[in-house]
Amino acid sequence: MKLPHFDLPLVAILRGLAPEDAEPVGRTLFDAGFRLIEVPLNRPGAIEAMRTIRALAPPDALVGGGTMLTLADVDAVADAGGQIFVAPNCDPPVIAHAAARGLLCAPGVATPSEAFAALAAGAHILKLFPAEMIGPAGLKAMKSVLPDGTPLWPVGGVVPQQIGEWKAAGASGAGIGGALFTPGVGLDELARRAQAFVAAWRQD
């Protein structure tokens, strides 16, 4: 798979999304400009919620699963029409299987050894997790030894006020979790949070 170009390379991580909330939450995020949606599998109803968002997604959006730890997780997401593989860890056989199923692969790495292993297995994007531990300085150091152009997306504790610092260190995207979506958040508040992230990323 050739890595697509993303005008807004921010992933909305919808952990704990109830299937009945998937449509309004998805529409709110798409309306705000998000085009990358991840529904972590370690909560009930994740596949159903992902399928609902996938059905209403704009043509330029990608929707998939997160916390994908096994070959079975990969198959469940791919069979449901998911397009993205996201994991918190680096498991080369699972990454390779996801790549073979045609998913955009963004496994989690925290060290150069994990980063190179993930790339060798077929990763398209490296999810730097937990970003709070790695920090912009860690991202910058890792970027200096990885193949030129490797997409590095911090995930974990990213807030709008830090986006500029992450970008200056070399981040080419980011995953946004609890600072964007928490179960039960109102749609107006979700829209406000989403717009804050969009504005922060697009700020010169």
- What pLDDT sits at residue 2? 65
pLDDT at 119: 98
Catalytic residue among 38, 114, 140, 167: 38
Spell out, as residue ranges, where the chain has pLDDT lower than 50.
none
38 catalytic? Reply is yes
Let me know if 132 is a catalytic residue: no
The catalytic position among 48, 114, 127, 140 is 127
- Domain 10-202: which topology? TIM Barrel (3.20.20)
- Tens digits of residue pLDDT in 153-171: 999 999 999 999 999 999 9
Question: What is the pLDDT at residue 204?
Answer: 64
Sign for the CA dihedral angle at 156, 198, 66, 19 comes to positive
Say what the pTM is: 0.96
What residues does each domain of the chain span?
A: 10-202
